[in-house]
Chains A and B, each alone.
Chain A
Amino acid sequence: MCNRYIHKIDKEMNPNALLAEIMTPMPHTIDPETKLTEIYKIFETNSFHHIPVVNEGRLVGMISREDFIQIEHVLTTSWAGNLNTESTFENFNAQDIMTEYPMHLGPEDTIGLAADIVLTNKFHALPIIEDDLLVGIVTSHDLIAFAYSSPVEHTASQ
């Protein structure tokens, strides 16, 4: 299993490459009024763990899956253990639970800078902003893939 990937030519990993190269452009976003029921569905049906909250294209917050799961716990069960109805979820929206004004970078910033920030702060996602508008997102997965992945045709030859 350890030899599953066949190595051919490696190009040097360059931490000065730009984030534009590895970011996920146009990520799934929600607006501040999005109900928790809706956010729940998004996390259930997608594999990503972070959703930027935007207001007319401008980033106002971030919601991580982990934050959401903790809030979900609180809202789902009362002290007595009975289930609250969906209406509890309808009463809250994205702006109630989001992390406001998260740290962000631009597409012209370097991959090395993003890695420093992620390593120092121990969070996993950085929104990418250009001219005040959200244009992408970079996660620790993207940074690891950039450093460790072979180009696609290499892995295809396994």
Chain B
Amino acid sequence: MFDKHIEVREIMTRKVITVSSDQTMDQAAEVFESRDLHHIPVVDDGKVVGMLSTTDLHKVTHHFTLFKVHNSDVVNQSVLRSLLTREVMTSPVATIQTSCSLETVASIFRENLFHALPVIESNGDLAGIVTPFDLMNYAYGPDEFELTESHHKKMV
């Protein structure tokens, strides 16, 4: 059954793909492309130091990329190779603890314009990530029942 008071750890994505702040943007771009992601937490020593979104990537991508001009690819590659993720990422970023309720998470998304929240353990280490789609999926998704069942198993 749908319960908005459960903790965010129950629905967050645990296997988060991350980059470190001294990786280059062409490496991050490859991650965006190959994994079809919109947000990547930038993590140093287990701690979230920033977030990279596809919007950040678009900002540093050549403007003629949409027209598939060959030169734009060449320019893109050299620009991306010369930039570090820490120079492009949004920082500092909001994070929430694993014990936050879904209701609180929903209210944070409502009040802010971002679409992904890193979830951290009480010691500050990255534990997962949560997006509005996770909230939608839990509330309305077809696997809602199955998900709830596994919660109960975990609690037993």
Contact = CB atoms under 8 A, between A and B. Distances in A.
B63 A119 contact: no
Contact of B136 (A70, A73, A78, A144): A144
Interface stretch (B20-28, B40-48, B65-73, B148-156): B65-73
B135 A5 contact: no
B2 A74 contact: no
16 contacts: A1-B100, A2-B99, A10-B4, A73-B61, A74-B66, A76-B63, A112-B140, A119-B133, A119-B136, A119-B140, A144-B109, A145-B106, A147-B106, A147-B135, A147-B140, A149-B103
A41 interface: no
B100 A2 contact: yes
Interface of B: 2, 4-5, 55, 58, 61, 63-64, 66-67, 69, 71-72, 96-97, 99-107, 109-110, 113, 132-133, 135-137, 139-141
Contacts of A118: 136
A28 to B, nearest CB: 17
Interface in A92-135: 111-112, 115-116, 118-119, 122
A10 B103 CA distance: 12
A143 interface: yes
Contacts of A140: 132-133, 136
Among B61, B104, B110, B140, find the residue whose CB has the most chain A CB atoms closer than 10 A.
Answer: B140
A5 B107 contact: yes
Interface of A: 1-2, 4-5, 7, 10, 12-13, 15, 47, 66, 69-70, 73-74, 76-79, 111-112, 115-116, 118-119, 122, 140-141, 143-145, 147-150, 155
B63 A149 contact: no
Contact of A150 (B69, B103, B105): B103
